[in-house]
Amino acid sequence: MKKTLTALIIVFLGCQSSSKKQVNNYDIKDFFNNISVYGGSFSSDEERLIYSSNESGIYNVYEVGISSGAITKLSSSELESFFVQSYVPASNDFIYTADKGGNEINHLYLQKRGGQTIDLTPGENEKSIFYKWSQDNTFLYYLSNKRDSKYFDLYKMDIGRLESRMVYENKDNLSLSSISNNEQYLLLSERLTTSENKFYLFDIIKGEKKEISTAPGSYSAAGFSNDNKGFYYITDVGKEFTYLNKYDIKTSESTVVFETNWDVMYSYSSKNEKYRIIGINEDGKNSIQVIDSNSNKPIEFPSFENADITGVSFSESEQKIRLSVGSSKMPNDLFVYDMETKSMVKLTNSLNKEIDPKSLVKAEVVRYQSFDGLEVPAIYYKPLIASSQNKVPAMVWVHGGPGGQSRMNFNPLIQYLTNSGYAILAVNNRGSSGYGKNFYKMDDKNHGDKDLQDCIWGKKWLQQQDYIDPERIGIIGGSYGGYMTMAAMTFTPDEFKAGVNIFGVTNWIRTLKSIPPFWEASRKALYNELGDPYSQDSIRLKKISPLFHAKQVKNPVMVLQGANDPRVLQVESDEIVAELKKNEIPVEYVIFEDEGHGFRKKENQIKGYGKIKDFLDFYLKSPASFSKNKD
């Protein structure tokens, strides 16, 4: 519910002029009454889209008529989130994936329009991943680790008979990247580090594997051509940023298809290859190009004021396009654009109608120098109420990873905190993706050191702003960002007045020894970046693990954890909380028994994230508590 009180504020424009603006203050429930949508696949008749939405409180499956705009709820889960993958071709049935309480053991389910649900991958510990439909739409390709929990094999299922057979047995701990339409070729990847892998073309008929990665670098598949004569792939070999190549199988020659001065994140073609879609990571936001294959020129879309196209999907006829559109101020919405009629319809309205967009903050990209002169990019949210006469507290926000990136998408927690008067600086410290391969490698086996200094120098940048209270700055993050939060509170205990650790690593030795079995293909790469806990690296890993140095913490900490988290086990949070309590450090602990690595249920988000604001209000805004903390 929106609060009735509003604040008249002065927004300074430049140094000379100013204007008055009214800002509404909103409750946590208002921000989590926004809707998050996932996917958006066309029906065979191209009259409907199927997608997942958390409108019900968790993700369920919905269908929307493109002409009518009528929305129908197709599933009614109250416990687990359902993420729809696709309609079954020439059918109203659909495939969705779900796990149990966030344990990440996803199964594939077939739901028939009459309501019957069939678990297609029923093994108790079987993790399955939807891959794609065959070109003729008769078979479902999927990955499953039912043979061995460590390895994902490729299967194909006759969706009419619900019978499966193995297409590729993964004996070499490789990751499948792509399969040709004629089922002769596979693209396989072997991770060496988080920034380098080997890349292979495997001929199933001949049983021969050919390495494509003749030079060290990063390689990822972008699909075979329909004629099975070549494939596309993305690499950074010889360049700072990734670019798109095409490989000719007969001649073994590669040609550059597309490159720019940012990373190409992904690329794929429409069903009949009339168009090629290219996603670019452009300074923290998605930039989408759709290339006409005949003219090799980008096609034009209608412009979206103050928003960006974040995703594109073509119908099979290639006449209609589903567009996902959003921004830092607007959750993603689904649109359909007709290529022939040049008409467009909006199908969802994700922003809570109770929220005035003018009261939300538009993110901006800022850059600051770190301790060694390195330029660090960040996504910045300045509260509308902030001014030199009304100084506000601030939080340094650290993304997940390692190797993640804070981006300019809609984040309800950030908007809630900003609306509540907290400036947020989401740092992309060294080691973040999206800024070139050299920047990405800068934190290898150096975590909790220079990357932490980047966060501290982000705090210094905040302190230079005349509308920030320099003594009221905290740090917050989830997963790797949670680790960085605890590292800051432990190893630089005088820097931040409060810390919010959301399922963060506190004991690297245990975390790296207990990674889920289905991460086996990435184990070697993780050890190469972070350290091998079974080697001499364990000495350094213990040195950078906050748990073993908790007595150094001086200031209040909040910890949030999902009990079913397979990545950062609950014991990580249990033990750091116990240590802080033993040392009489103010600590608040919130555990969700039905969540994993990330909180999906709205009721849990409202409870947990609401408590974050209460915690920060007490330790960063409350005069009495702040005075005690400062002393």
* CATH number of the domain residue 418 falls in: 3.40.50.1820
Question: Is 281 inside a domain boundary?
Answer: no
Query: Nearest-CA neighbor of 40 among 107, 2, 87, 102?
Result: 87
- Tally the residues of the chain: 631
CA atoms within 13 A on the CB side of 43: 14
Q: How far apart are CA 617 and CA 373, in angstroms?
A: 34
Tokens of 349: 């309205």
In a domain, 600, yes or no: yes
* Residue 560 maps to a domain: yes
Q: 300 CB contacts (<8 Å, ≥6 apart)?
A: none
Residues 378, 25: Cα–Cα separation, whole Å: 25
211 Cβ contact partners less than 8 Å away, ≥ 6 residues apart:
198, 199, 200
Give me 233's structure tokens.
């792939």
The whole-angstrom separation of Cα 366 and Cα 561 is: 31
Angle among Cα 440, 480, 55 to the nearest 5 degrees reads 110
- Residue 589 CB-density burial (10 A; 0-12 exposed, 13-18 middle, 19+ buried): middle
pLDDT tens column, 152-164 = 999 999 998 999 9
Does residue 41 belong to any structural domain of this protein?
A: no
* Three-class secondary structure assignment of 481-520: HHHHHHHHHHHCCCCCCCEEEECCCCCHHHHHHCCCHHHH
Low-confidence ranges of the chain (pLDDT < 70): 1-21, 623-631
Domain-embedded: residue 480: yes
Give the single-character DSSP code of 300. P
- pLDDT at res. 541: 96
Helical (H) or strand (E) element with 537: helix 537-543
Residue 127 counted as domain residue: no
Give the span between the Cα atoms of 578 and 589, in whole angstroms.
10
As beta bridge partners, residue 312 has 323
Residue type at position 141 = Y
Decide: 40 and 25 in contact? Cβ < 8 Å: no
pLDDT confidence of residue 115:
82
**Coil vs helix vs strand at 17:** strand
Range of the domain at 398: 26-30+361-507+545-630
Query: What is the SS3 assignment for 357?
Result: helix
| Nearest residue to 454 via CA among 480, 422, 488, 482 | 488
Q: Which of 423, 416, 417, 427 is nearest to 469 (CA)?
A: 423
What stretch of H or E contains 607?
helix 602-616
Instruction: Say how far apart CA 198 and CA 215 lie, in whole Å.
Output: 9
Q: At what angle do helices 480-491 and 450-463 cross, to 10 degrees?
A: 80
Q: What is the DSSP letter of 586?
A: -
User: What's the confidence (pLDDT) of residue 624?
Assistant: 55
Which segments of 388-479 does DSSP mark as H helices, in order? Answer: 412-419, 437-441, 450-463
Domain assignment of residue 404, yes or no: yes
Token pair 């069939």 is found at 118
Give Cβ neighbours of residue 252 (< 8 Å, ≥ 6 apart).
none
Cβ-Cβ contacts under 8 Å for 397 (sequence gap 6 or more): 406, 414, 424, 425, 426, 427, 475, 476, 477, 481
The DSSP-derived string for 120-178 is SS--TT--EEEEEE-TTSSEEEEEEEEEETTEEEEEEEETTTTEEEEEE---S--EEEE
**519 phi and psi angles, rounded to 5 deg:** -100, 15
SS3 of residue 609 by DSSP: helix
Number of helices and strands in the chain (H, E): 11, 38
**Coil vs helix vs strand at 249:** coil
DSSP 8-state symbol, 546: G
At 605, is the secondary structure helix, strand, or coil? helix
Please state, in angstroms and rounded to a whole number, the distance separating the CA atoms of residues 205 and 180.
Answer: 12
**Cα gap 162→157, rounded to integer Å:** 6
> How many domains is the chain partitioned into structurally?
1
pTM: 0.93
Alpha carbon 237 to its chain's center: 25
| Nearest partner of 222 among 171, 298, 273, judged by Cα | 273
CB 107 within 8 A of CB 146: no
Instruction: Provide the residue type at 267 as one letter.
Output: S
- Distance between CA 288 and CA 314 in Å, rounded? 13
Report the pLDDT value the prediction gives residue 175, as an integer from 0 to 100: 92
In the sheet that 263-269 helps form, which strands lie side by side, from edge to edge?
263-269, 275-282, 285-292, 297-298
Residue 217 lies in a domain: no
Give the tokens for residue 57: 């409180």
Instruction: Report the alpha-carbon distance of residue 125 to residue 40 in Å, rounded.
Output: 29
